[in-house]
Chain A
């Protein structure tokens, strides 16, 4: 029974992994091209993609490599650029059933990308680790493959196709946040406020100097904190979510 359920979850995860993989292929191409331009070999670039699975994090890491900065600087930069995963993983921790064997958390942690986190957060109730593994099985190799191709061949996609694939991941984010917002006015307002604030931070004189990684953290902490004060979730909302 349990095994059958795990298999179903794994297959559903693989299905959700397809659009993620498409988007990853496109983004990883660019990553690979950058890696090549700073003198990394395709193998090095691919190893980095396998080890990190983090787009902004990897761009930042390549910056450090090219400037031959110290390892401490690499560690600190990686910490700052990727700090949002601390929030995402904390949120995900509440979606794991106490019945799920503990070792799964160490494997799941390896695949907490924005996208795999997003589809996992969007599951009703607890997340079955096999759902994440199914998604990762499709999405992660696309990330590595895209990096390898970008680093060895440069961009091999026609601009029009590459352009189109670049919005795949954003499309997914929209598919995660809009349907619940449609049913809940407060969430709709929250999504609109988040987008408006993000726009403000990207164009306003002083605010636009703040790096994207920090911007995401500041806005998440402030806006989600505000939402939690204004409208603490009620027990029935939890239930409908479980």
Chain B
């Protein structure tokens, strides 16, 4: 099985790299089409929002601590916005709440 494991890994890695590399190298110029331009501008917001919620609610062993992490993250992001502080704040909220569960 050992050799084929590395072949499997190579296959997955090659496909994943191509998916990431092709758009970066084939779209060399600034896109002028207003629709496509706007679409690509909105992509990060939609994708990251979709990935965050509701997945964050099942990221910890209890929905209560997960909600605490989510709300802390939203509030700190709203007030402050610093990546590190938001991330750490969400972690701290989960940790503190899980002490009482």
Contact = CB atoms under 8 A, between A and B. Distances in A.
A198 B19 CA distance: 24
Contact of B95 (A90, A91, A164, A202): A164
A104 to B, nearest CB: 9
A152 interface: no
Given A93-B27, A187-B45, A199-B54, A48 B9 contact: yes
A65 B5 contact: yes
A199 B53 contact: yes
B24 A61 contact: no
A75 B15 contact: yes
A96 B53 CA distance: 29
Name the residue among A91, A114, A175, A182 with the largest chain B CB count within 10 angstroms: A175
Contact of A159 (B11, B61, B87): B61
Interface in A206-234: 212, 215-216, 219-220, 223-225, 227-229, 231-233
B69 A227 contact: no
Contact of A110 (B2, B20, B59): B20
A119 interface: yes
A166 B59 contact: yes
A190 interface: yes
Interface in B1-34: 1-2, 5-13, 15-17, 19-25, 27-31, 34
Interface in B40-58: 40-56
Interface bracket on A: 35 or more
B91 A171 contact: yes
A51 B15 contact: no
A153 interface: no
Interface in A110-167: 110, 112, 114, 117-119, 121-122, 159-161, 163-167
A61 B48 contact: no
B5 A121 contact: no
B78 A182 contact: yes
Name the residue among B66, B69, B86 with the largest chain A CB count within 10 angstroms: B86
Given A167-B60, A175-B87, A231-B38, A75 B11 contact: yes
Contacts of B35: 228-229, 232
A173 B59 CA distance: 14
Given A176-B83, A195-B53, A224 B91 contact: no
Contacts of A166: 59-60, 94
Contact of A170 (B9, B22, B69, B78): B69
Contact of B8 (A39, A74, A118, A224): A74
B44 A176 contact: yes
Contacts of B19: 79, 82-83, 85-86, 89
B39 A224 contact: yes
Interface of B: 1-2, 5-13, 15-17, 19-25, 27-31, 34-56, 59-61, 65-66, 69-70, 73-74, 76-78, 81-92, 94-95, 98-99
6 contacts: A64-B12, A105-B21, A109-B20, A114-B48, A167-B59, A168-B87
